[in-house]
Structure 1
Amino acid sequence: MGKLLEVKDLRVSFHTYAGEVKAVRGVSFELNEGETLAIVGESGCGKSITSKSILRLIPSPPGDIKKESQILYKDKDILKMNEKELRMLRGGEISMIFQDPMTSLNPTMKIGKQIAENLIVHRGMNKKEAIKEAVKMLQMVGIPNAQERVNQYPHQFSGGMRQRVMIAIALACNPKILIADEPTTALDVTIQAQIMDLMKELQNNLGTAIILITHDLGVVASIAHRIQVMYAGMVVERGTTDEIFYNPKHPYTWALLKSVPRLETKHKDTLYSIKGTPPDLLKPPVGCPFASRCEYCMEICKEQMPKPTKISDTQEVSCFLLHPNAPKVEPPQGIGGKL
């Protein structure tokens, strides 16, 4: 598999009345053709900012992508592209599904016209051809009576159907990369499963690489090839899906896995939650960002940032517990296995 996308030392800040919020702090990763990379972590960890930076959708001001950052698509730096190049990239080469389809779709435009716009701009179709292709796209994402539905408005669709329309718009021009930002938020569990199955099926048919942004580890278990865990604007652990589920090494990854309800959870069992709150990124901690909430925190964790430690060719963890002189700590009971 060839390398499609490479993000190097991505740093994004927001300038506010209170000071500079360092939202993303040195994130690096690669995405290969036809694979799914999941970026997981709780709200506010920098997942969505990372994904929007790839398409340069960070408003400036107040947003500021630092000069040392690089986002290479097919070896060309997106951060140095002009407006014309960006227009061809967005929707044509890289598409994005946003969190809430109701706010992402134009309520005053028919669904067919919203899909057709992309086809007219990026594939040079005329209006008639584009509407005909829009019907095919709706059929492809599993919307019944597509011939009629193409002339309806967003409010006439259910939440799951609107999300399918968003996927149809995103895939209309056969992009090489699809960024899905919390694509199953606010959908019930049955529809969530259908949307994930649809994305997996379309990936198999079209060969599209996917970056999946989510806080729900249960969603990524069946679709992701690799996972990177983010906390306080940084990647604290990365690895294949099996490595993250069966052999996690970072206490934050343990805590995330422990937070997911399991089938064996009894009716009145107390669900696990991570104590404390994430650090204030106006004044990021000098040490490990998870130190104040970590059950295994040592003095060095508060004083220094741990360097990434390679566990295997694909797994890397930033934690002092992996130091040869650190006390041996076993993962909590029940951690290590698919959800």
Structure 2
Amino acid sequence: MENLVKENKYILDVKDLKVSYHTYAGEVQSVRGVSFKVDRGEVLAIVGESGCGKSVTARSIMSLIQAPQGEIKKGSKIFFNGEDVLAYNKKQIRKFRGGDCAMIFQDALTSLNPTMKIGKQIMENLIIHRNMNKKEAKEEAIKILKSVGIPNAEKRIDQYPHEFSGGMRQRAMIAIAVACEPKILIADEPTTALDVTIQAQILELINELKDRLNTAVILITHDFGVVAGMADKIAVMYAGQIIESGEKRDIFYNPKYPYTWALLNSVPKLEWKGKQLLDTIKGTPPDLIAPPKGCAFAARCKYCMNICLEEEPKEYSFENSQQAKCWLYSEEMPEGMLNEILEDKKNE
């Protein structure tokens, strides 16, 4: 009965995640109360500008926050199949990391071990998590390399990372990540620094693996083109918080938060024929050593009100499970003023 209950839960349920880094300048509050859920076979895209806490969130799920500099705060919960990952012992963490949950890191060149052959790096996972012997692991590693589109896998398995091109290294990273058929795959900007053709191939590959294994995928990126092609749901992060979330269509066609509006306005449009300038978000993100007491985006928001500077907004819910943390949707906000702001947004 207990197993049946766990099976009905979300594969991953993150609740009130708070992560800080202790530096000489003070405590940097990198992640400030992040919550989200991911189901089997679902793709959640976490978007936001650099430094907003996307990668720290991903590393927290994998239990890769290094103490004493990094600290996951008490009260944070990360549930995998109903079990709290943060309460795991070393043996359970080892099984979870690489076995149940795997990660494709942002830069394959620095993430792969330069002193180990690609094949050995894949075989390690197979030997540890799937209890294979060396011969079985090598045969399986060759199959996996072929499945991710690496030609001449029998030869490539005995080569080092520096002998691979950028796209091939990224494919090798994916091979290592999917070797144990994980239930959760975290892709941290998997197409960074790759040309457009290779980007499309890598994303298609992740999609194929997701469909074949019914894997939950967390896609971390700042590229809305990638999000449009892959995501089912979107979570928008700013200054260590998720400030808007919802179904992909709702976020693209009916965004609620001014920061999301600004992000979407900074993306070039297909209908542009002249030399239109891209919109920019003026100002800089807040200092997370001393976060503002009100809305984190207030200093950069053209619709900022006095309350935005004084008090953090609560989360407001809309249709289709869309949510946003913005005072524009407060019950005390005059309806005429909100309609005027929304009309102004449409005309931008």
TM-score (ref. length: structure 1): 0.96
Match for residue 59 of structure 2 among 52, 56, 60: 52
Distance, in Å, in 2 between the alignment partners of 1:9 and 1:312 is 23
Residue ranges of structure 1 left out of the alignment (5+ in a row): none
CA contact (8 A) 1:2 1:33 kept: no
More displaced stretch, 227-236 vs 199-208: 199-208
Deviation, 1:313, is 4.0
- In the other structure, the counterpart of 1:216 is 223
The size of the alignment, in residue pairs, is: 335
Q: Which has the higher helix share?
A: 2
Q: Does 1:276 align with 2:283?
A: yes
Indicate whether 1:312 and 2:298 are aligned. Answer: no
Deviations 1:151-209 (A, max 9, x none): 11111111111111111100000110001111111111221111111111111111111
Conserved? CA contact 1:22–1:233, under 8 Å: yes
Taking only the aligned residue pairs, the percentage that are identical comes to 62
> In 1, Cα distance between the equivalents of 2:164 and 2:346?
44
Q: What's the counterpart of residue 16 of structure 1? A: 23
Measured in 1, the distance between the counterparts of 2:234 and 2:32 equals 18
Q: Work out which of the residue numbers 32, 44, 47 in structure 2 matches 1:25.
A: 32
Match of 1:137 among 138, 144, 149: 144
TM-superposed deviation, 1:312 = 1.9
Residue 64 (structure 1) aligns with: 71
Alpha-carbon distance, 1:16 to partner: 1.1
Task: Write the distance in 2 (CA, Å) between the matches of 1:150 and 1:259.
Answer: 42
Q: Aligned residue for 1:166?
A: 173
1:300 equivalent in structure 2 = 307
In the alignment, what sits opposite 2:103?
96
What code does the residue aligned with 1:67 have? Answer: K
- CA separation in 2, counterparts of 1:109 and 1:12? 32
**3-state SS, counterpart of residue 190 of structure 2:** coil
- Following superposition, the deviation at residue 255 of structure 1 comes to 0.6
Deviation of 1:262 after TM superposition, in Å, equals 2.2
What is the CA-CA distance between 1:332 and the residue it aligns to? 2.9
The TM-score, its normalising length taken from structure 2, stands at: 0.93
1:6–1:28 CA contact under 8 A, matched in 2? yes
Let me know the Cα RMSD of the aligned residues: 1.4
> Is residue 287–residue 306 contact of structure 1 (8 Å, CA) maintained in 2?
yes
The superposition leaves residues 39-61 of structure 1 with CA deviations (integer Å, 9 ceiling, x where unpaired) of 11000101111110011101111
Residue 233 of structure 2 aligns to which amino acid in structure 1? R
In structure 2, distance between residues paired with 1:278 and 1:95: 30
Task: Give the equivalent residue in structure 2 for 1:195.
Answer: 202
Establish whether residue 239 from structure 1 lines up as the match of residue 246 from structure 2.
Answer: yes
Structure 2: unaligned runs, 5 residues or longer: 1-7
Residue of structure 1 in register with 2:161 after alignment: 154
What does 1:31-46 align with in structure 2 at a 5 Å threshold?
31-46=38-53
Q: CA deviation at 1:2?
A: 4.7
After TM superposition, give the deviation of residue 21 of structure 1 in Å: 0.9
Matches of 2:144 and 2:321, distance apart in 1: 36
C-alpha offsets along residues 291-335 of structure 1, whole Å, 9 cap, x if unaligned?
A: 000111111111111100001242001111112424221163478
Alignment partners' CA distance in 2, 1:100 and 1:56? 19
Match of 1:332 in 2: 345
Match of 2:14 among 2, 7, 10: 7
Matched, 1:257 2:270: no
The letter for the 1-side match of 2:295 is C
**Separation in 2 of the partners of 1:206 and 1:6?**
20
The whole-number CA distance in structure 2 between the counterparts of 1:314 and 1:191 is 34
The alpha carbon displacement at 1:269 in A equals: 2.2
Matches of 1:84 and 1:56, distance apart in 2: 13
- Alignment partner of 2:230: what SS? coil
